[in-house]
Structure 1
Amino acid sequence: MGKSKTFTELIVWQKAHALTLDVYRITQNFPKKEVYGITSQIRRASVSVAANIAEGFKRRSPNDKARFFNISEGTLDETKYFLILVKDLNFIKANDSLMEQVDEVSKLLYSYKKAILNSNS
């Protein structure tokens, strides 16, 4: 954690970025009428996860850093909901690998946030 010089070195950011790329790939085939609806919403949510990790990385105080990771956790859950929705709407067949990615990023975010807050003690 303290050894990373840029946010791109963080495994949690790398995994969140990979999830975002996969979300963009699956949404390319969504119905065109959804471009400004669900397609835009799920992309925005997934981008926000990695973006908040990046923004939080440069914050100086542990509480401020943790706040951005908490925001990432919230938008990750939003992304998860959208993945459930698009599966239920039959826009995609299955999303097991995407859900596994979401769960992995969630665990990493939690661990990273916990480590930040514990370093403050």
Structure 2
Amino acid sequence: MERFEETSVGWANDFTELLVWQKAHRFVLNVYHFVEGFPARERFNLSDQLRRASVSIQTNIAEGMGRSTKKELIRYLIIARGSTQEVKYLLLLSRDLGYLEEPHYIALNNRINEIAKMINGFIRKL
């Protein structure tokens, strides 16, 4: 299989070697931590949607890396990029509803913006 993204050690053979995937994974862990503080009534609503949208980013990167062509990889990266925008809105909504404090919102929003930029850069490289 072709190696699609340069890493600090050469070209990635596995999605776990991708810096963008690693950052997305850490982001998901942070999201899971913060949604634990959401009200119980949001357990199957906003908190669940935020978790699923966040996980979608890294799962689409991983699935794209498992595909056999660059065209397929790009398609999954575009889906991952779309999920970053969904997450951005859900973070904003969480903040506006008072579930996410401003400093935490800013930190998470900065991270998701960085991930979106990295995905865009990855797509451009292909």
Letter in 2 for 1:108: M
What does 1:91-102 align with in structure 2 at a 5 Å threshold? Answer: 91-94=99-102, 95-102=105-112
Match of 2:62, SS state, is: helix
% identical equivalent positions: 36
1:44 to 47, 52, 66: 52
Shift of 1:114: 1.1
Higher relative contact order (CA 8 A, sep 6+): 1
Aligned to 2:18: 10
TM-score scaled by structure 2? 0.89
Letter in 2 for 1:60: S
Letter in 2 for 1:26: F
Unaligned stretches of 5+ in structure 2?
none
RMSD: 0.8
Match of 2:44, SS state, is: coil
CA distance in 2 between partners of 1:97 and 1:36 (Å): 24
Moved over 4 A (4+): none
Number of residue-to-residue matches in the alignment: 116
Cα displacement string for residues 54-104 of structure 1 (whole angstroms, at most 9, x for unaligned residues)? 000111111110000000000110011000000000001111110110111
CA distance in 2 between partners of 1:75 and 1:100 (Å): 15
1:87 to 95, 99, 120: 95
Match of 2:90, SS state, is: helix
CA distance in 1 between partners of 2:66 and 2:33 (Å): 29
Aligned to 1:119: none
CA distance in 1 between partners of 2:41 and 2:107 (Å): 26
Unaligned stretches of 5+ in structure 1?
117-121
TM-score scaled by structure 1? 0.93
